[in-house]
Amino acid sequence: MPHVAPKRWAQRALALLASLAVILAIAPAGPASAHGSVVDPASRNYGCWLRWGSDFQNPAMQQQDPMCWQAWQDNTNAMWNWNGLYRNGVGGNHQAAIPNGQLCSGGLTEGGRYRSMDTPGAWTMANLGSTFNIRLNDQARHGADYIRVYITRQGYNALTTPLGWNHLELVRTTPRYAPSDVYMIDNLGKGSRTGRHVIYTIWQASHMDQTFYFCSDVNFS
């Protein structure tokens, strides 16, 4: 009588491989590990990933966090790849490369993956006092030629107006940072600003001509 166990084992192995292939095909991609983002106060897509990454199909998001809801509906990869919002080859000419109304998406970089970040509205805000710090995580330890921090001018309406360069005031340009996991920009001041604002951070990486762009929504008390 022929021995059939090896055949059955092979069939089971093929079935297992097929199941794994299906799982990998439908599971959302995890965040990329090559870059970074402003994590405090959280950039728009990092904040959406932080709050909803483990529950992104929850319909309650539509009422509780409507701007993240529209972002998740538009392109989930904008959140899974929260650390990949960058452009190459800008050469420091940020205003030439990034049109008004597209600052939060890095000029529709990565084929427009992050375009929902440009949508004005009631993004979840971080409450800040008269002085504050920015924490930028650099997972790949690229280093920084500089980091620039802008804040919107008093009177800008983030609920209705896509962000433009004319809405921003430069408040800090840092010196170089050696490659590290974290870069801190300390003791930034809000000036006379009150209420809802956007902090716009530009991180010029050192390893190549690669520039990252972050919008963080804040409330100055």
Each residue's pLDDT, cut to its tens digit, for the chain (221 residues) gives: 444 444 454 455 444 444 433 333 333 444 444 589 999 999 999 999 999 999 999 999 999 999 999 999 999 999 999 999 999 999 999 999 999 999 999 999 999 999 999 999 999 999 999 999 999 999 989 999 999 999 999 999 999 999 999 999 999 999 999 999 999 999 999 999 999 999 999 999 999 999 999 999 999 98
| Alpha carbons 36 and 21: distance in angstroms, whole number | 29
Write the CB contacts of 54 (distance below 8 Å, at least 6 apart in sequence). Answer: none
| Alpha carbons 206 and 142: distance in angstroms, whole number | 6
Please, what are the domains in the chain?
38-220 (2.70.50.50)
Q: Quick check: 27 and 76 in contact, CB under 8 A?
A: no
The reported pTM is 0.85
The C-alpha angle 108, 109, 113, rounded to 5 degrees, equals 75
φ, ψ of residue 180 to 5 degrees: the values are -160, 175
